Structures are given as structure tokens and as C-alpha cells.
């Protein structure tokens, strides 16, 4: 304590050379607080977050300004552009180079020359001294206008730079932006050029708009949770994967934020971890992305595609966060609001430009009029006798006095001085007629400008349409908007482990290689275990885990599996009664023990089976010989039991002691077939009643798929099957007796044919071409209806302009033949369009003969009557597939 006091006294009384005491104290905490706030504000405003006015960060704005100053139509070395930008940007050349290359790769504001890298492969650009750049025509048109630009001094006070550039386009949303500041971040997705312009036009027309991201890398995107690009939203982006054949998948487009290199690395990593099973990955990317994934033998292509989405970077989730600078402050707003601000700013900038142009035209008209009056009325001659310059100016002003009321503003001394600068040579060659023509043109342009100002919204819409016409070609949407299905990882995970069980010891796991092998599984599966004491538990698969002794059954647990039924007989120790029950287990809490008996200690399971498709077997029950039961052996069919929950007590099987229970005969499924639906938005089958109902499927049933390229295929009804909606003409339950009707164009004969045929092939998962294989052949119509109809538009004479229409019942002009038959000619005229009509419907009419004394049913065969579709209502769907049709042209 004394030491402390002495130290404090020494510090306080410490003297300088001059004997003056130092008593200065600095509040360090306050300084740090201020410095941090200043630094945070600087990073937010000057580095990381874009301004809503032009959608640019300061470094991007300075690059564009420097390029505009250098612009002479020729390419400039990027190194020179960096040096020019450093006059305005107070940071090193590395940050400028990175920002410049990033902008160039977005293919909007710059024309680039040389190796600028590849956003698809991740290849970096060449050194700045090797690559060249100049402003694109689009940038020159929409980004710059010195007359409407607000200026400020550069950081060293030597130059002027724009506060924001007068951009007349939603540049921020077209390019996208990502930045991390102090305490906040921004992540705005790039959007489609054409869609942004069309949305801006809709905003000017007071319509509601919705815009969604679009990426240069293409791929697929699910925007169902986009949330207008605000915080809390999420998009899912997928690679576009196609099935080349049953052994090879091809990735044609990659998801945003990934490269081919990172994608391949994620695939190899998932394969090494056993999540997927592939043989080889080959990168054939050149002009277009092409990554071949060769599958391991016996691997399903459809399941592997889902596994790639589930376990690799073939699917990524991105959380947007639209943060922009508005009024020198960061704001979190939606992309539609940003678009409205940009559209309103474009409207204001166009108005400013029109006002500026109006002023220029008025000035030119005023001076042209002054010049005409000055020369034609020979006012210049009145100054010959003037002795002073002031007298000359006064004389000219006096000569113009009678004409001053016709001008839009007061004539000032500068106007008079400008008249006096006209050379005698020009006065002598003055052409009054040409001067009048020029003034007429100026007046016409002025009238047009005034009209545009009076109809500013119309003018802005025309401006956007001009942009679309000049620069929209080749900027169509690259990323396809889809609704993605939710992939359950456990369903598509490769079976990379083997499940073993130690029944007596009560252990399960994939590390018990010396114990009993049960089945293949994956390392993310849940395992359900039934024990002899009547309890069950679900636990995560591990190397070795204790689940309880006396295990009678264990298997992979599939959540929400309503097809798996457990048949059980148990002995209740308290009452001495044996109960029988059937139940499902669709959802559980992991590692919680469930009691399947009445809950009494020492109860035990006497008989147990697990049935994947709800089979109900017949059992034989043998009672003990010493029991008092009259019948000591009897059979019981599980089919008579209702399927209930796992907690149900069950029905009484017998009150007498049971010696043994054995299987008498295997059972069949009591659940019937599966009701299957097809959701065309995601191209997947489901049992959740989403999309179109296909029917009830038994094990032997198949699905018929007819493709736009003129092929058909039979597939099974596994829910893991994938169907590309854009490629499918008809998808329905296959009925062997159904007739397929098709209209196609034969590329060889250049004629249209109608053919009707039944499916004669039995091979599953193989496509068969049923139209001509000549180049140019194309399927235009396909249906499985019994009586399909089309509306045929055609020209009888190629020189004639009139188009005729004919309704054709296709079943009346073509017979049912083999699937390889050419078919019947549809028409010899020039076909304009083929449109599908509602099919005719068959109505069975039974005639009855009525007499005075009796009424009897006629023995004549029933009459079949064709009814026009306008006279009846059509069912939405049918188990036989009627109602499926497609009209294409």
C-alpha cells in the first residue's frame, strides 16, 4: 500500500527540465469510441455497401469515372486504368484490380480483351499489364452525363470525382453485390437484364412486380423463400444434371458461388466419405461446362442425382441480405423497393436531361432569331459611325428593341457581344432560307421535348424499350426457376456401412464385424431395435452402441413409412393373457424406449414379424399340454386384425399358457396398392396428393412416359424417379390395352403423319423411338385418349394468305397398327398449327323394350354413341389415363 502511494506521489510530482509539472490527462476510452465509430462509418459508406443511386461501391464508381476520362474508343491496358483510378481511390492497386476484374467478368459495363479468367472454372485473370478494357456502349449510354452529375473533390483535393453517377438503369440489381462492413453485411443477388427492364416498365404502369435472381453460371433456382431479397430469405441453387446413360451423369451448369473445381472436389469428398458411390469424375469443361460423373455398377442414376444434391455442392443455399446506402445511412430494403427507387431516379434523370435539352434548344432558337434580325435588318451598319465600344453595344441593343417582346427571356449584354463577334464573311454569305429551315427543325425538336416533358412516363417507357431493343439480345434468363423437392438424406445416402448385431449382449453397430450381419446401411441411418421384453428403441447408427439385451429384431428405421406393419403376440405377466396386435411406427423420439406390451414387468414377446408391405400371415398357436383348454392347437389369421398404434393393448389371443407359435402360411399385403401422384412443377412422383393423380399401383404396374422427341418409356413407380417436365409430353399409368395416338412431322418426306399403336415392348427403363428417325422429324401431338381430336390450321395454296381450320377426329383417319408403323398421312397442305381439342367421349346407351303387360331388357347389343365434348362434363382424371393429351407446334 505504501509502495503504491509513493509511486503515485512520484508520478504526480515528476518535473520536466524546466521544472514545470505535467498534469495533462487524456480520456482514452472516449477516443477509442469515437475512432471506432468513425472507422465503422468509413468502412460502411466508403468501402463495403453500395449507394442506391447508382448501385456502385466507391472503388467501382472511381474505376468507371477513370475509364470515362480515358475513353477514346480504343482499349486501355488494365494497368493504366488502375494507375488512373489511383488518382481518386486512396487504396492500393490490388483492390482496384480485383474490383475491375470482377466488374469485367459480369459482362455488362466493360468490353474486355485478353484472359479475364472464368467464373465457371475459377481461373483467375492474367496480370493487369496483359489484359485490356474499355467502356461498353451500354455503359456510355446509361451511366454517364456530366450535366446531371454531382461532383466532389478527390481525397487529395486535386481532382473532381462524382458523388454518384447518374445511372439510368437498375445497375445494382443487374450486377449484384457482396460486401462485409463493421457490424453489417450486404448480399444482393444479380438479376436478369431483360426482366429488370420489363419490371421497370411495369412499375411505371403502376403494376406490382416480382423479380428473381439470375446467374451467369446458369443452373436451377428455387425462389419460394426468396423474401424479396431481404434478411431472413433463402434461395436454393442447383447444378443442372442430366442422365447421359444408365452409367453416366453429366453436369452441364453449376450453381452460383461455385466453380467446376470446387464442385468436383465436393463430389470426390462425398464419395470418399461413402455418401455417394461413383467410379470416376471427368472434367471436360471447355466452351461449355461438362463434368461427367461415371457411376459405380448397380447404382441408380436417379438416386445418385438426389445424393449429389444432398451431399455435395451441386445444391447450395444462399441467404440474401439487401443492404444499401440511402441518404448516407445503411438501410435494409427489398429488391422490389430498390427497383422502384432506381426507376424513379431514372425518371428524374430523364426529366433533367429533357430540361437541359429544352434550355439548349431555346438558346439556339433565341440566338438564331437574333442573328436573323441583326443581319436581315442590317443593324450592323448602324454601328459604323459609333466611336466607342459602349456606343456600339448601345446601338445594337436599340436596333433590337422592337423585337424583344417575342423572345422567351430578356436580352442581356452577352447576347449583344455574341452578335458583335459575327464575322463579315459570314454576314455576306448569310442564307435566310437555310436559317429558317434550321429554326424550323429546332422548333420541331423543342416541341418534341415539350411533349416528352408533358408525358414523362411514356417517354421513360420508350427509353426502357429502346434499351431492351439495343442491348437485350443474348441476355435472356440463364438460371431456370423451379420448385425443388426436399431430399431426405437418409433415403439417398449410399449404403457405405454394414449393420451387425450382438443379440444376447445387446449391442448393434457397424464395428461388430465378428457378430451377426443384418443388412447394408449408411452412416447417417437410424436403427430400430425390438427386444424380447416387449420394448423398442430407435437410435443413430454408430460403430458400437448398447441398446438392451435379448434383441429379437433390428433394421434401418424409415420415418413416416406407413407401409411397414409389425405383427406381434406378447404375454402379459400380470393377467397371464396372450395378446395379439398389428401396428405401425412412423415417428419416434430418438433413444426413447417404448413399451409395446401392457406395461407390466416380466411380460415378453412370443411372436414377431416386420412386414414391409403390410403382409398378414397365418400363425399356428400351440398351448401347453397341461392347460385346461379343450382345443390346444388352433390357427389365427392376422388379416382379421385392424392396424392400430404402437400403444394399443391388442386383442386377446388366448387366456391359456402358450407353448409355441409358428408360421402356418405367408400372407399377402392387406394395404392394397399405392396411390401415386405426379407433380409436374418438380418432375417427381409422390404420395402426398401433390399434382396430378395417376392411379393406384400394384407391384406389377408401370408408368408410361411419352417424350417430346418422339420416344416412349416404361418406368417403375419408385418415388426416387426423376422426370424432366420440359421433355415430357404425356405421363400416365400404363394400361396394356391403351392406345397411343400421335401426330408427327417426318423429316424425310416433309409430311405430317397420324399413327395409333399399342405398347408392345416390355423392357422397363429403356426408351423406344416411335416416330421417324429422319433428321428434322418432330412430334407435335400425343394422347392416350380413346377418341382424340385436333384443330388443324393449314393453307391450301402456298401463295394464298388465308388460313383454314379443320377439326379432325384422329381415331377416324388412322387404324391401330404396330409401334414401328409409319402411320397415315394427315394432310398434303401446308400446316400452320396443330391444336389439341377435348376428346370425344363414349356413352353406353342400353335400350329397353316396354310393353303393356311386361318390360324386358333387350337382347340387342348396347349402342355406342359419340358425344361432342360440349355436351358433357369431363372428369379431371382417370385411372385408365384418359384425359392425357398434348398439343405442340
The whole-angstrom distance between residue 416's C-alpha and the CA centroid of its chain comes to: 66
Whole-angstrom CA distances from 721 to 65, 300, 508, 560, 594 are 54, 9, 32, 19, 35
Question: Which one is catalytic: 32, 42, 130, 517?
Answer: 130
Task: Please classify residue 506 by burial: count the beta carbons closer than 10 Å to its beta carbon, then call 0-12 exposed, 13-18 middle and 19+ buried.
Answer: middle
DSSP 570: E
Please name the helix (run of DSSP H) or strand (run of DSSP E) that holds residue 315, with its range, or none: strand 315-318
Evaluate whether 682 touches 484 at the Cβ level (below 8 Å).
yes
Is 408 in a helix, a strand, or coil? Answer: coil
Non-local CB neighbours of 19 within 8 Å, separated by 6+ positions: none
Query: What are the E-state strand segments in 352-503?
Result: 480-481, 497-502
Name the CA radius of gyration of the chain, rounded: 42
Between CA 20 and CA 26, with CA 23 as vertex, the angle to 5 degrees is 140
Q: Which three cell numbers stand for residue 118?
A: 472464368
The whole-angstrom separation of Cα 691 and Cα 409 is 71
The span from the CA of 500 to the CA of 544, in Å, is 9
Alpha-carbon gap, residue 878 to 841, rounded angstroms: 13
130 catalytic per annotation: yes
Nearest to 95 by CA among 128, 123, 126: 128
Residues 620-632 as b/e (b if ≥16 CB within 10 A, e otherwise) read ebebeeeeeeeee
* Cell numbers at 161, concatenated: 470525382
Confirm if 609 and 662 have CB atoms less than 8 A apart. Answer: no
**d(C-alpha 444, C-alpha 434), whole Å:** 15
Please give the Cα distance from 306 to 488 (Å, whole number).
9
Grid coordinates belonging to 748: 424425310
Helix (H, G, I), strand (E, B) or coil at 52: coil
Q: Quick check: 744 and 816 in contact, CB under 8 A? A: no
How far apart CA 751 and CA 746 sit, in angstroms, is 6
**Contact assessment for residue 813 and residue 824, using Cβ atoms and an 8 Å cutoff:** yes
Cα–Cα distance, 114 to 445 (Å, whole number): 43
Catalogue the active-site residues: 130
Amino acid at each position: 500500500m505504501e509502495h503504491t502511494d509513493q509511486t503515485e506521489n512520484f508520478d504526480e510530482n515528476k518535473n520536466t527540465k524546466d521544472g514545470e509539472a505535467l498534469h495533462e490527462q487524456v480520456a482514452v476510452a472516449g477516443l477509442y469510441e469515437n475512432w471506432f465509430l468513425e472507422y465503422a462509418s468509413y468502412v460502411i459508406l466508403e468501402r463495403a455497401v453500395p449507394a442506391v443511386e447508382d448501385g456502385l461501391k466507391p472503388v467501382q464508381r472511381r474505376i468507371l469515372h477513370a475509364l470515362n476520362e480515358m475513353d477514346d474508343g480504343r482499349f486501355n491496358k488494365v494497368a493504366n486504368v488502375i494507375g488512373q483510378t489511383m488518382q481518386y481511390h486512396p487504396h492500393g492497386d490490388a483492390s482496384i484490380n480485383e474490383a475491375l476484374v470482377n466488374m469485367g467478368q459480369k459482362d455488362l459495363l466493360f468490353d474486355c480483351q485478353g484472359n479475364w479468367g472464368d467464373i465457371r472454372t475459377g481461373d483467375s485473370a492474367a496480370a493487369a499489364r496483359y489484359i485490356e478494357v474499355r467502356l461498353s456502349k451500354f455503359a456510355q449510354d446509361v451511366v454517364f452525363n456530366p450535366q446531371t452529375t454531382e461532383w466532389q473533390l478527390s481525397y487529395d483535393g486535386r481532382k473532381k470525382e462524382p458523388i454518384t453517377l447518374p445511372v439510368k438503369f437498375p445497375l445494382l440489381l443487374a450486377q449484384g453485390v457482396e460486401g462485409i462492413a463493421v457490424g453489417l453485411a450486404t448480399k444482393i443477388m444479380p438479376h436478369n437484364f431483360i426482366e429488370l427492364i420489363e419490371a421497370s416498365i411495369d412499375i411505371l404502369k403502376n403494376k406490382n412486380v416480382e423479380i428473381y435472381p439470375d446467374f451467369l453460371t446458369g443452373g436451377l433456382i428455387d425462389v419460394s423463400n426468396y423474401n424479396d431479397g431481404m434478411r431472413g430469405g433463402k434461395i436454393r441453387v442447383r447444378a443442372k444434371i442430366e442422365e447421359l446413360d444408365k452409367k453416366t451423369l453429366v453436369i452441364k451448369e453449376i450453381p452460383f458461388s461455385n466453380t467446376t473445381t470446387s464442385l468436383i472436389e465436393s463430389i470426390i469428398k462425398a464419395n470418399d466419405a461413402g455418401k455417394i458411390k461413383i467410379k470416376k469424375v471427368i472434367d471436360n469443361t471447355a466452351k461449355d461446362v461438362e463434368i461427367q460423373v461415371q457411376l459405380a455398377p448397380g447404382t441408380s442414376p436417379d438416386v445418385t442425382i438426389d445424393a449429389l444434391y444432398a451431399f455435395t455442392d451441386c445444391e447450395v443455399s444462399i441467404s440474401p441480405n439487401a443492404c444499401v446506402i440511402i441518404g448516407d445511412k445503411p438501410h435494409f430494403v427489398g429488391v422490389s423497393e430498390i427497383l422502384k427507387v432506381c426507376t424513379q431516379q431514372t425518371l428524374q434523370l430523364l426529366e433533367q436531361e429533357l430540361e437541359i435539352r429544352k434550355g439548349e434548344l431555346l438558346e439556339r432558337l433565341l440566338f438564331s432569331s437574333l442573328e436573323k434580325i441583326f443581319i436581315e435588318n442590317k443593324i450592323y451598319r448602324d454601328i459604323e459611325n459609333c466611336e466607342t465600344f459602349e456606343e456600339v453595344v448601345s446601338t445594337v441593343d436599340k436596333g433590337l428593341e422592337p423585337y424583344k417582346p417575342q423572345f422567351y427571356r430578356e436580352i442581356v449584354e452577352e447576347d449583344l457581344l455574341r452578335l458583335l463577334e459575327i464575322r463579315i464573311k459570314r454576314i455576306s454569305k448569310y442564307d435566310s432560307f437555310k436559317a429558317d429551315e434550321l429554326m424550323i427543325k429546332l422548333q420541331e425538336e423543342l416541341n418534341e421535348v415539350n411533349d416528352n416533358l408533358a408525358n414523362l412516363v411514356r417517354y421513360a417507357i420508350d427509353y426502357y424499350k429502346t434499351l431492351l431493343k439495343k442491348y437485350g439480345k443474348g441476355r435472356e434468363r440463364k438460371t431456370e426457376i423451379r420448385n425443388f423437392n426436399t431430399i431426405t438424406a437418409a433415403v439417398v445416402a449410399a449404403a457405405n456401412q454394414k449393420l451387425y448385431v450382438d443379440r444376447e449382449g445387446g449391442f448393434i453397430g457397424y464395428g461388430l464385424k465378428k457378430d451377426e450381419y443384418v443388412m447394408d446401411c449408411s452412416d447417417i441411418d437410424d436403427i430400430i431395435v425390438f427386444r424380447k421384453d416387449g420394448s423398442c428403441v430407435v437410435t443413430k447408427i454408430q460403430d458400437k452402441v448398447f441398446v438392451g439385451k435379448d434383441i429379437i429384431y433390428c433394421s434401418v428405421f424409415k420415418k413416416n413409412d406407413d407401409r411397414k406393419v409389425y405383427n406381434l403376440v406378447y404375454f402379459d405377466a400380470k393377467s397371464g393373457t396372450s395378446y395379439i396386435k398389428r401396428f405401425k411406427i412412423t415417428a419416434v423420439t430418438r433413444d426413447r424406449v417404448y413399451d409395446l406390451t401392457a406395461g407390466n414387468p416380466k411380460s415378453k414377446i412370443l411372436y414377431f414379424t416386420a412386414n414391409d408391405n403390410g403382409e398378414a400371415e397365418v400363425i399356428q398357436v400351440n398351448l401347453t399340454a397341461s392347460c385346461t383348454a379343450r382345443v390346444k392347437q388352433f390357427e389365427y389369421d392376422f388379416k382379421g386384425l385392424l392396424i392400430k398404434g404402437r400403444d394399443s393393448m391388442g386383442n386377446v389371443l388366448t387366456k391359456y399358457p402358450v407353448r409355441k407359435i409358428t408360421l402356418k402360411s405367408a400372407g399377402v399385403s392387406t394395404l392394397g396398392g399405392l396411390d401415386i401422384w405426379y407433380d409436374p412443377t418438380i418432375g417427381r412422383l409422390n404420395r402426398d396428393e401433390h399434382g396430378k393423380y395417376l392411379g393406384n399401383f400394384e407391384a406389377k404396374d408401370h408408368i408410361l412416359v411419352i417424350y417430346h422427341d418422339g420416344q416412349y418409356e416404361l418406368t417403375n413407380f419408385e418415388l426416387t424417379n426423376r422426370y424432366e417436365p420440359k421433355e415430357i409430353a404425356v405421363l400416365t399409368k400404363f394400361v396394356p390395352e391403351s392406345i397411343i395416338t400421335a401426330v408427327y412431322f417426318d423429316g424425310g418426306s416433309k409430311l405430317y403423319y397420324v399413327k395409333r399403336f399399342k405398347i408392345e415392348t416390355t423392357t422397363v427403363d429403356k426408351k423406344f423411338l416411335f416416330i421417324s428417325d429422319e433428321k428434322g422429324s418432330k412430334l407435335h401431338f400425343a394422347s392416350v385418349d380413346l377418341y382424340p381430336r385436333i384443330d388443324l390450321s393449314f393453307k391450301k395454296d402456298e401463295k394464298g394468305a388465308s388460313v383454314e381450320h379443320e377439326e379432325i377426329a384422329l381415331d377416324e383417319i388412322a387404324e391401330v397398327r404396330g409401334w414401328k408403323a409409319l402411320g397415315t398421312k394427315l394432310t398434303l397442305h401446308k400446316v400452320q398449327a396443330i391444336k389439341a381439342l377435348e376428346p370425344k367421349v363414349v356413352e353406353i346407351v342400353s335400350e329397353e323394350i316396354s310393353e303393356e303387360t311386361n318390360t324386358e331388357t333387350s337382347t340387342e347389343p348396347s349402342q355406342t354413341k359419340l358425344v361432342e365434348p360440349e355436351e358433357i362434363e369431363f372428369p379431371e382424371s382417370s385411372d385408365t389415363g384418359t384425359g392425357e393429351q398434348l398439343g405442340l407446334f
